């Protein structure tokens, strides 16, 4: 990139199973207030807002109307992204690089508790040819998990290790929804949702919001002493219809990662990246996405978790925050990964800090079996 875009501040609500005490607007505002306080900016200083929310989850057409006041979008610029907040960060970056906007507020919110998760996920499938199969994201993910485990010999124990690691990491994150002391046995004996995915293999229902402020380099340096730079970013879609791609591989993620790496000058991701925050809605996904991100060859991520490469203190800690498994809402989860990467690079990870982190990876995913993949590389120097 010719010019750099900085992230000036990040804010997150605590993630909870049901925030019945607040409206969506108030939830988003909790996160927005944090970034305004951290930067000393007011909503009048914001040139543009990029929001992320989904009409089906909010139960209204044009879900961003919900939060218009709290993003300062009265007689002002606002765009909505409806996939994941990480894509909204990407759009904000583009607005700044275009020269059209300077200070951009990015906000993602979802209250999963207010709607029927399975029905909304089912509505993501083709109305004529897929919805009638009664699939939701979990039952579709079960097919992907089975195919992946069969093709590469990944075991249920290796998947369970992801839950054990991430739920334990969540104990160091005061914002995490469900930190837990669990064993592989606990995961393997938890309630079966859709074979082979069990309750502790899946993320819980979650409410929450995440906010950020972005600005071009010169402004970023004026406003904060510790800006974090977006070094590379990309996303990639793959086919919707199950069966048209091998679910055991994730070519879209490989492509997205390669493009982000080439922008950021990353040739050996395992060596050059200090910490990774990966969107794993199910345990097998952390392993599969690590392969797509090129941290190992295809089918070899099970060995990485066996060898402890991805635990805290390992060569590449993955999800020090506890990950999506410990509870983040869909649509917010990928942006939460960016926020956590920023905290790591600012040295503000407190008990979950990876010492000396200089380059971090954030990954987001939207849709059925990882149909849309987004990768962002961030650095602090």
Chain residues binding other proteins by CB under 8 A are: 19-27, 29, 33, 42-44, 56, 59, 68-70, 72, 74, 111, 114-116, 119-120, 123, 127-128, 131
Integer Cα distance of 324 and 334 in angstroms: 9
Q: CB 76 → other proteins: shortest distance, Å?
A: 8
Closer by beta carbon to other proteins, 41 or else 278: 41
The DSSP bridge partners found for residue 86 are: none
Q: Return all residues near 135 (Cβ < 8 A) that are at least 6 apart.
A: 122, 125, 368
Contacts for 346-350: CB closer than 8 Å, 24+ residues apart: 346/226, 346/228, 346/380, 347/226, 349/320, 350/172
Q: CB 207 → other proteins: shortest distance, Å?
A: 9
Q: CB 116 → other proteins: shortest distance, Å?
A: 6
Closer by beta carbon to other proteins, 22 or else 188: 22
* 339 close to 228: Cβ distance less than 8 angstroms: no
Closer by beta carbon to other proteins, 1 or else 119: 119
Residue 133: how many CB atoms within 10 A of its CB?
12
**Distances 367 to 44, 81, 242, 373 between C-alpha atoms, Å:** 35, 14, 12, 9
Q: CB 175 → other proteins: shortest distance, Å?
A: 20
Residue 227 three-state SS: coil
Q: CB 326 → other proteins: shortest distance, Å?
A: 23
Closer by beta carbon to other proteins, 42 or else 381: 42
* 211 close to 109: Cβ distance less than 8 angstroms: no
Closer by beta carbon to other proteins, 22 or else 168: 22
Closer by beta carbon to other proteins, 125 or else 261: 125
Closer by beta carbon to other proteins, 29 or else 284: 29
Backbone angles phi, psi at 56, to 5 degrees: -65, -40
DSSP 148-175: HHHHH---HHHHHHHHHHHHHHGGG-TT
Q: CB 115 → other proteins: shortest distance, Å?
A: 5
* 331 close to 286: Cβ distance less than 8 angstroms: no
Which of 381, 379, 366, 376 minimizes the C-alpha distance to 54?
366
Q: CB 13 → other proteins: shortest distance, Å?
A: 13
Closer by beta carbon to other proteins, 38 or else 115: 115
Closer by beta carbon to other proteins, 76 or else 172: 76
Q: Could you tell me whether strands 192-194 and 77-81 are parallel, antiparallel, or unpaired per DSSP bridges?
A: unpaired
Residue 315: how many CB atoms within 10 A of its CB?
14
Closer by beta carbon to other proteins, 39 or else 272: 39
Q: CB 168 → other proteins: shortest distance, Å?
A: 32
The DSSP bridge partners found for residue 105 are: 49, 213
Q: CB 54 → other proteins: shortest distance, Å?
A: 13
Which of 95, 85, 30, 33 minimizes the C-alpha distance to 57?
85
Integer Cα distance of 221 and 290 in angstroms: 33
Q: CB 244 → other proteins: shortest distance, Å?
A: 21
DSSP 309-343: TTSTTSSS-B-TT-TGGGT--TTTHHHHHHHHHHH
């Amino acid at each position: 990139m010719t010019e750099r875009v900085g992230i000036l501040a990040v804010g997150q609500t605590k993630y909870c199973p049901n925030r019945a005490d607040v409206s969506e607007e108030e939830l988003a505002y909790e996160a927005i207030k944090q970034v305004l306080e951290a930067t000393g900016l007011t909503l009048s200083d914001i040139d543009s807002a990029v929001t992320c929310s989904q009409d089906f989850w909010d139960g209204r057409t044009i879900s961003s109307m919900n939060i218009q006041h709290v993003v300062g979008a009265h007689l002002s610029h606002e765009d909505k992204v409806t996939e994941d907040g990480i894509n909204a960060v990407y759009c904000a970056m583009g607005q700044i690089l275009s020269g059209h906007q300077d200070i951009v507020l990015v906000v993602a919110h979802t209250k999963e508790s207010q709607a029927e998760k399975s029905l909304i996920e089912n509505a993501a499938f083709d109305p004529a040819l897929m919805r009638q199969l009664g699939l939701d994201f979990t039952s579709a993910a079960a097919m992907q998990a089975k195919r992946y485990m069969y093709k590469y010999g990944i075991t249920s124990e290796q998947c369970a290790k992801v839950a054990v690691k991430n739920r334990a990491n969540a104990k160091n994150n005061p914002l995490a929804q469900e930190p837990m002391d669990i064993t592989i046995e606990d995961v393997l004996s938890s309630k079966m949702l859709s074979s082979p995915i069990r309750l502790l293999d899946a993320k819980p229902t979650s409410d929450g919001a995440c906010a950020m402020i972005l600005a071009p380099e010169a402004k970023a340096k004026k406003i904060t002493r510790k800006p974090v730079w977006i070094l590379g970013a990309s996303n990639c879609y793959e086919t919707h219809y199950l069966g048209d791609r091998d679910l055991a591989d994730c070519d879209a993620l490989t492509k997205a990662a390669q493009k982000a790496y080439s922008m950021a000058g990353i040739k050996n991701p395992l060596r050059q990246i200090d910490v990774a925050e990966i969107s794993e809605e199910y345990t097998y996904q952390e392993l599969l996405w690590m392969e797509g991100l090129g941290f190992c060859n295809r089918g070899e991520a099970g060995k990485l978790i066996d060898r402890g490469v991805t635990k805290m203190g390992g060569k590449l800690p993955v999800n020090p925050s506890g990950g999506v498994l410990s509870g983040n809402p869909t649509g917010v989860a990928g942006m939460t990964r960016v926020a956590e990467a920023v905290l790591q690079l600012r040295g503000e990870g407190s008990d979950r800090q990876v010492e000396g982190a200089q380059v971090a990876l954030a990954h987001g995913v939207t849709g059925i079996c990882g149909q849309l993949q987004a990768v962002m590389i961030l650095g602090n120097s």
